[in-house]
Structure 1
Amino acid sequence: MKLKKHILFLLLFVTAIAFSQVNTTKKLTIKGTVKTKEKRSPISGVEVSATSGSVVYTDAFGAYRIKAEVGDYLLFKSLEFETVEYRIKDDEDVDVLVEGLDEDTQISKSALHKMYIDSAKQFKKTDIGKSIDYIRLSLEQLGKRGNNKERAVSYALLGEIYQYHKQYDLAVDNYKESLTYNTTGESQLLLANAYLLNKEYKKSQTLFTTLLSNKKLSMYQKILVYEGLGDAYKGMKNTQQAVGNYTKGLDIAKKELVKPKITDLNTKIAEAYGDANQTKEAVGYFKNSLKSAESEAPQRALEVSERAADFYNKNNLYNEEMKLRKQSLEDIELLENSAKKKVEKRSTTLDKVEVPITRQRINYKIATNLIVQDKLDEAIPYLEESISEAAIEDDLVVQKDATRKLSEVYDDKGDYTRALETYKKYAAVADTLYARKEQEISRAERLSKQIAEKQNRITGLEKDKELYESKSSLEQTKQDLYTTTSTKQKIIIYALVLGMFLFGIAAFFFYRSNKQQKLANNLLALKSLRSQMNPHFIFNALNSVNNYISKSDERSANRFLSEFSTLMRAVLENSEEDFIPLTKELELLELYVKLEHSRFPDKFNYSITTDPNIDVAAFQIPPMLLQPYIENAIWHGLRYKNELGYLNINLKQKNKEAIEITIEDNGIGRKKSAELKTQNQKKQRSKGMGNIKKRVAILNSMYKDKVDVVVTDLSSNGTGTKVTLTLKKD
């Protein structure tokens, strides 16, 4: 039965997880604002990105609207403050309040700067010239004493513009310039990635390693740092270190369910193993990557598939490559049927492939696969299809390569006429491509000159600023301020730590003292109660001896005193103990009942029965706990009965951890006994029973409810009494 319950619970648990995973794929529209905490002033130009890929910027009112999924992280990035991270749970509005901005001067001095920054972002991808001009204007309006955070924002965005347009050396210079004004984890990440793109792997590795000690990094940023470290070590041909860091990033991505990074890092681990000729390991990680990409956008799955296919081609795994290439053609057709004529250019997450994935390029690669396997006739249709599609899409590079490859295939087949015709077409396409390349080179040279001029103007602004206020004095002031602030912070922190430590010590000693005092009080109370129990028992026993003496029955009195002295010796030996073995207690009870029966042989018979299955030696009981109940049964119940009564003491197993001891008598009952008491007896409470109740209460508080006692009438007419005592093991 228990096994069925466990299986049912496991099924429910797995089902809940499955549903939660399904729900996380639902696209939501998240909206909100980014404002300052103190005065709720809106902050425009803040980059808001979701780990599933969407990116937007806040408007002039600090508002944004972004598509995301449940489980995504929203990252609020700006060089004016540390990156803020939020985990999406539902479609609630996400409002972010930022601390530490100088609001009194921000609105008056920063309005134009923000406007120019927003404009620069708008033209970042479409017009590099305009974008750089807006950066220059943003710096000019700051003047010679501009806000360092705002200046850092301008240079960081300029670095991003250069990076997007593959001017990596200029990107590095401007990121470094940004860091001189304001050092944040986000700006350090940008610089480290720019080092990577500029192939300065050692500098990139050093900076990424430094970032690992930054405790303000979000979980998503930690993933990026480990990924960057892996890229740096891969660039330095250190496969072991590269895979190690990729794996650390992958572990965090899996834990945080950052699906795009799970795909990216599986792919990068696979490629690292591939570069090290560890084909088996690479294939395994490519499979993981392909599986992860299935739950993402179709373009992502297509990109990962093509990277895996390139790896299979490089390692002569032609059948696996062919499967992926043909699947890619089907995926492109599905995308085109969704009114997308071309597959979008890949995002910056997987940065190895720098060209769009197109039908003509995939057909060309399939044909190349077949040619390597000497399947020339099968390759020809794919080459022709590639040439036709490349011509439609004006893709001269693929058209040239496919035409040349087709000419070579005809030549290998001995069809020299077609080979010559195709070669002439290849020459024509090559000439057109050459002319176009010359034009592109010419445009690139003009653009380089334009960029150089604009960068020089920006550099000139910096030199003017240096003339007005030297960097050395700024750095010294900054260092002095940092030292003073750091010292004060350390003093406050040390004082708080010391105070908490002292408070903890005081609380510990108070708790220990209180616990020891409580224990001492309980032990003192128990000792006091035991000291009262012994005289009470002796007094009642001596009454029995006195009865024999009054009857001049010296022989019975001597026998009774002999047995009574044996009993008293055992009682006194146990009087200092909280618990004694149950076997000893039973021996004392048997002796006591025997003494009482010898006095009232015509009033009752007795029996003491123990279940043979009980391990009596395994139980402990407070000494003299049962005797007062037996004494009450004899003196107040059986003694007043006209006919012969009985007293039964029975021990039976209640469960594995407890036994049940019952004391039953068929005497006159508690109600009748109370009626027979004298007025003096009614005024006095039974010391024996009162002490027993107090002892049980104290022992249960010390030993976690070890003993439980219930007294009831044996019969419905009120005659007889039943005492049920439950005793637990230690």
Structure 2
Amino acid sequence: MTTFVGMSQVGNNSVEFQLQGSVKGKENYEPISGVQVSTDKGAFTRTNALGEFKIRASVGDMLIIQGPELQTVRHIIKSEEDIDVLVEGYGSAIDTKSKKREVSGARKSLMEHQRFLDSANFYKKTDLEKSIDFVASSMELLGSAGNKRELSMSLRMLGEIYTYHGQYDLAITNFKDALAAQESNKTKILLGKTYVQNGNNAGAMEVLEPLVEVKNMVPYQRIELLEALGDANKASNNLKRAQDYYKEGLLIAKKNQISPKEIDLNSKIADVFASEDKLIEAEGFYQNSLDLSRQVAPERLIQESEKVADFYNQKNRFEDEIQLRKQNLSELEQMPRSSRATDKKGAVKDTITSQRINYKIANAYIAQDKLDEAIPYLEKSIVEANRDDDLVVQKDATRTLSEVYRNKGEYNKALESYQDYVAVVDSLYVRKEQEIASAAQFNREIANTQNRISSLEQERELNQSKYSLAVTEQQLYEETSKRQKWIIYSLIFGIALMALTAYLYYRSNKQQKLANNLLALKSLRTQMNPHFIFNALNSVNNYIAKSDERSANRFLSEFSVLMRSVLENSEEDFIPLAKELQLLQLYVKLEHSRFSDKFDYEINVDQHIDVDAFQIPPMLLQPYIENAIWHGLRYKEEKGMLKIVLRQLTKDMVEIRIEDNGIGRKKSAELKTTNQKKQKSKGMGNIQKRIQILNDMYKNRVEVSISDLNQDRTGTKVSLKLKKQ
């Protein structure tokens, strides 16, 4: 695979083409990999394991070849023909056949190493695990004789992967290891930029400032260095120094016509002026970034325009802000959705989404007290955010719309919008919980992969030791057998130590999984269905409102008994079946006292069942009974019937069946509102999670199935099969 980076060119009247070539030693024609190849226009690439390269260039450009082990070569491109660059003094002549075979094998190894790194770079942004696997494969390929240069390249690639995924501490560690293997300006710049992203500005300047004195640095690399130093000083509030670095980088970018960096640096200089309240200078540099962006790509123009619009917003220039954002909306609508900026999971980025732009336009109108003009943009933002599943913008826009209606005195619409806002907040809360769980899993995977790389490096060092010992043994073949036995015992001890480490690692993972399961169970057990608590308290309130003090006291007393029992059992994975039946009888009694006109109930327990011999998770059946009452029997026109039946299937298994002759699951689903359809029953979700975890820990003790009671799809039957412990 060939690594190729093409930089956008602005203002170049010559026709660009893809120039191909190779870099080899003049004495032995040995390919030279990893050489920096650039043009005076800013294009940049490196040679692959075969010494080959591809780069965008024009006739008349100067080709610059640089590397740590060779003198800089400059060549004027005169045609589109391939170029072979021969470097003097690289390597020596190869005379013997055995030496030729050795070089051939090493060359293949270098080719494979570069191929693995190219693959890791390809998957860097889309598949973390796969990209790290390729880096690990490249390190395994080095073996005991791998040189420092290739090891440094592998560690640097690993640092780049971690940087992209926000694991800055791991990235810094690997960049430092890469520098320990071999000094490299590129690695130092990457380390400095990662320090800035991690908030260690002093560390960034300590690494980057000595590079300013380095001569013959590639222009694009020099620009990255100056930009990183500007970022570090800006973050440290050294605005004058930051501006000096940015301006120096901008001069180099203009000289070499590196347009993307010209845009970046103009924008950053404008940011510095804006923070100093130098509005005229800031606006001038922002305008420069906009003019350059128009020549690059629509996406970049919109990004820069939004930054300028934010600047107008901060300075209360709302009319200018609105006009610019409307232009951005027009540009965005002309772009195909497939070309809009998206993140690695496919969700549209916030920076250039139409829903966020519409929301910001609405806020600008609100700041001017133009509420009627703001409403259409808020409504459009909500619709587009819902389409793109952007809950954050949908939440903010819905809340703002409710406030606008309230300020206008349209309280019905304000209430309706606020109810939509509450629904979106609930959905966002569920998503945040899922994101937290995913982030925890992601961090565990990151830790595992880094441990694997560390183990691989330790293994490589051990292999190098073994290799050195083998060479020494060959040279000192006539030494005593005592020394030979010592080497053998050392190897056995090393293998035993690795086996013990692997066993302890396996046991630690197993214990961690058990601890996670116990923590999840404890969390789920402490969650009582909020609908039941809310409705029960409402019932007490209704009794009090009707001056039925006796019924209120009775209901509250029974409800407190139920709640006390639930809390007492919250620390247990399983309780006796007899105790669970007592809780269910009390729960159904409470619900029946509230809906006595809607259903009757009966609880039938087979007399042959030894209920004390069976254990069941506490409050496992309550959500199913609640669903039967609230979604089946409550909507039935005539009085319904709830049956709870316990029968013994085998000596070690009982069946608990919950039946209701209500309206059925299909009819209940049709009666749900749009908001209700978006919500998931938290109680049912908790039950499913608890059953899954308990079955995993206790070998499938609980089995639940739900079906329609009648052929016309009315009524519901829940069958729960429970095994004896």
Paired with 2:39 and 2:390, the residues of 1 have a C-alpha distance of 33
1:300 corresponds in structure 2 to 300
Would you say 1:454 and 2:449 are equivalent positions? yes
Q: Could you say what secondary structure the match of 2:369 adopts?
A: coil
Measure the CA separation in 1 of the matches of 2:68 and 2:381.
46
How far the C-alpha of 1:385 sits from its partner, in A, is: 1.2
Q: Which runs of 5+ in 1 are unaligned?
A: 1-20, 348-352, 474-730
Picking from 431, 438, 442, the partner of 2:437 is 442
Aligned position for 1:319: 319
Contact kept in structure 2, 1:42 and 1:60, CA below 8 Å: yes
Which of 347, 361, 367 is the equivalent residue of 1:366?
A: 361
Distance in 1 (alpha carbons) for counterparts of 2:293 and 2:220: 19
Conserved? CA contact 1:52–1:259, under 8 Å: no
**Separation of aligned partners in 1, 2:364 and 2:36:** 44
Q: Distance in 2 between matches of 1:462 and 1:105?
A: 22
Provide Cα deviations, 1:601-651, integer angstroms capped at 9, x if missing partner.
xxxxxxxxxxxxxxxxxxxxxxxxxxxxxxxxxxxxxxxxxxxxxxxxxxx
Check whether the contact 1:71–1:257 (CA below 8 A) recurs between aligned residues. no
Distance across 2 between alignment mates of 1:127 and 1:176: 24
Tell me the residue number matched to 1:420. 415
1:247/1:310 CA distance change after superposition, 3 Å = same
Residue 64 and residue 334 in structure 1: after superposition, are their counterparts in 2 closer, same or farther (change >3 A)? farther
**Matches of 2:65 and 2:156, distance apart in 1:** 16
Q: Kindly indicate whether the alpha-carbon contact (under 8 Å) linking 1:156 and 1:174 is maintained by their aligned counterparts in 2.
A: yes
Distance in 2 (CA, whole Å) between partners of 1:416 and 1:161 is 52
Structure 1 counterpart of 2:225, which letter? V
Instruction: Return the structure number with greater relative CO, CA threshold 8 A, min gap 6.
Output: 2
1:551-590 paired onto structure 2 within 5 Å: none
How much does 1:70 deviate? 8.4
Determine if contact 1:48/1:75 at 8 Å carries over to the other structure. yes
Please list the CA deviations of residues 374-399 of structure 1 after superposition, one character each: whole Å capped at 9, or x if unmatched.
11110111111111112222222222
The equivalent of 2:19 in structure 1 is 31
2:114 is matched with which residue?
Answer: 114
CA distance in 1, matches of 2:148, 2:130: 24
Contact 1:30 1:93 in 2 (8 A): no
Residues 169 and 79 of structure 1: CA distance in aligned 2, closer, same or farther (over 3 Å): farther
Map 1:141-540 onto structure 2 (within 5 A). 141-336=141-336, 340-345=337-342, 355-466=350-461
Report the 3-state secondary structure (helix = DSSP H, G, I; strand = E; otherwise coil) of the residue aligned with 1:290. helix
Does the CA contact (< 8 Å) of 1:50 and 1:68 recur in 2? yes
Q: How does 1:638-649 map to 2 (within 5 A)?
A: none
Shift of 1:176: 0.9
Instruction: Give, in whole Å, the separation in 1 of the partners of 2:432 and 2:65.
Output: 41
Instruction: Give 3-state SS (helix, strand or coil) of 1:212's partner.
Output: helix
Distance 1:187 1:28, change over 3 A: same
Instruction: Give the Å deviation of 1:78.
Output: 9.1
Decide whether the 8 Å contact of 1:231 with 1:242 is kept in 2.
Answer: yes
CA–CA distance in structure 2, aligned partners of residues 42 and 319 of structure 1: 61
Deviation at 1:302, TM superposition (A): 1.5
| Structure 2 partner of 1:15 | none
**Root-mean-square deviation (CA), in Å?**
3.7
Letter in 2 for 1:33: G
Alpha-carbon offset, residue 284 of structure 1: 2.0
Question: Is the Cα contact below 8 Å between 2:10 and 2:259 reproduced in 1?
Answer: no
1:580 alignment counterpart: none
Which amino acid in 1 is paired with 2:152?
A: A
Residues 643-722 of structure 1: pairs in structure 2 closer than 5 A:
none
Kindly indicate whether the alpha-carbon contact (under 8 Å) linking 2:42 and 2:219 is maintained by their aligned counterparts in 1.
no
Find the aligned partners of 1:239 and 1:173 in 2 and give their Cα distance: 29
**Alpha-carbon deviation of 1:23?**
6.1
Q: Is the 8 Å Cα contact of residues 38 and 45 (structure 2) preserved in structure 1?
A: yes
Q: How big is the shift at 1:334?
A: 2.5
Question: Quick check: 1:370–1:376 contact (8 Å CA) kept in 2?
Answer: yes
1:178 and 1:454 map into 2 onto residues whose CA distance is: 18
Higher mean Cα deviation, 80-89 or 286-295?
Answer: 80-89
Deviations 1:140-187 (A, max 9, x none): 221233211110010000011111111111111111111111112111
Contact in 2 for aligned 1:51/1:258 (Cα 8 Å): no
Secondary structure class of the residue paired with 1:36: strand
Q: For residues 56 and 446 of structure 1, do their structure 2 counterparts lie closer, same or farther at Cα, with a shift above 3 Å needed?
A: farther
8 A Cα contact 2:10 2:257, kept in partner: no
The Cα offsets for residues 90-129 of structure 1, whole Å up to 9 and x where unpaired, read as: 8665666678876666414324323322221222111101
C-alpha contact 2:41 2:257 (8 A) present in aligned 1: no
The one-letter amino acid paired with 1:399 is Q
From the CA coordinates, give the structure whose radius of gyration is larger: 1
- In structure 1, C-alpha distance between the alignment counterparts of 2:36 and 2:428, rounded to whole Å: 39
- Partner amino acid for 2:364? N
For 2:204 and 2:353, locate their aligned partners in 1 and report how far apart those are by CA, in whole Å: 33
Whichever residue aligns with residue 369 of structure 2, its letter is D
Go from structure 1 to structure 2 and tell me whether the alpha carbon gap of 1:48 and 1:256 turns closer, same or farther (over 3 Å shift): closer
| 1:728 alignment counterpart | none
What is the SS of the residue equivalent to 1:411? helix
SS of residue in 2 equivalent to 1:35 = strand
State the partner residue of 2:647. none
- SS for the counterpart of 1:124 is coil
SS at 1:143 equivalent: helix
- Alpha-carbon contact 2:42-2:256 (below 8 Å) kept: no
Q: Report if the CA contact (8 A) 1:249-1:265 is conserved.
A: yes
TM-score in terms of structure 1 length: 0.55
> Residue 97 and residue 443 in structure 1: after superposition, are their counterparts in 2 closer, same or farther (change >3 A)?
farther
Maintained 8 Å contact 1:299/1:343 = yes
2:72 & 2:357 partners in 1: Cα distance? 40
TM-score w.r.t. the length of structure 2 is 0.55
Number of residue pairs matched? 443
Deviation at 1:270, TM superposition (A): 0.7
Change (3 A) 1:399 1:93: farther
CA contact (8 A) 2:341 2:349 kept: no
Q: How far is 1:210 from its partner?
A: 0.7
CA contact (8 A) 1:80 1:149 kept: no
Amino acid across the alignment from 1:423: Y
Taking the aligned partners of 1:439 and 1:73, their CA distance within structure 2 comes to: 54
SS at match of 1:133: helix
Q: Would the alpha carbon gap of residues 235 and 93 (structure 1) be closer, same or farther in structure 2, given more than 3 Å must change? A: farther
* Contact 1:390–1:398 (Cα < 8 Å) also in 2: yes
Residue 462 of structure 1: CA displacement? 2.8
